Amino acid sequence: MDYDLGEQAEGLRLRLRRLIEEHLPEGFLGAFTDDPEDLAITQRFCKLLATEGLLAKAWPAEYGGGGGSVWEQTVVREEMWAHHEPRGPQYMGINWVGPAIMRFGTPEQQALHLPAIAAGDVIWCQGFSEPDAGSDLASLATRATPDPAGGWRITGQKVWTSYALMAQWCILAARTAVKGAKHEGITMFLVPMESQGITVRPIPNLLGPHHLNELFLDEVSVGPDDVLGQVDHGWTVIREALKFERIGIARYARCDRLLVLLRDALGGRWAELPEALRARWTRARVHARAAMVLAYRVVDAQAKGIVDDADASVARVAATLCDQEVAEVLLEALAAQAVDDGQTRHPVLHGAVEDHWRYAQAATVASGTIEIQRMLVARAALAGEAR
Give the CA-trace dihedral at 192, 196, 197, 200, to 10 degrees: 60
Strand-strand pairing, 124-127 and 169-175: parallel
Separation of alpha carbons 197 and 170, rounded Å: 14
Q: How far is CA 186 from the centre of its chain?
A: 23
Q: How far is CA 381 from the centre of its chain?
A: 26
Amino acid at 317: V
Catalytic residue among 72, 85, 245, 354: 245
C-alpha gyration radius of the chain: 21
Nearest C-alpha neighbor of 21 from the set 75, 82, 73: 82
- Name 28's Cβ contacts closer than 8 Å, sequence gap at least 6: 38, 41, 83, 84, 86
Exposed e or buried b per residue across 264-282, where buried means at least 16 C-beta atoms within 10 angstroms of its C-beta: ebbeeeeeebeeeebebbe
Q: Is 245 a catalytic residue?
A: yes
- Is 366 in a helix, a strand, or coil? coil
Separation of alpha carbons 139 and 230, rounded Å: 19
- Judge whether 171 and 122 are in contact, CB under 8 Å: no
DSSP H stretches of helix in the chain: 6-23, 36-51, 70-82, 90-92, 98-104, 107-118, 234-248, 251-266, 275-304, 309-334, 352-360, 370-386
Angle at 204 between CA 200 and CA 205, to 5 degrees: 125
Separation of alpha carbons 170 and 110, rounded Å: 15
Q: Which residues are catalytic?
A: 245
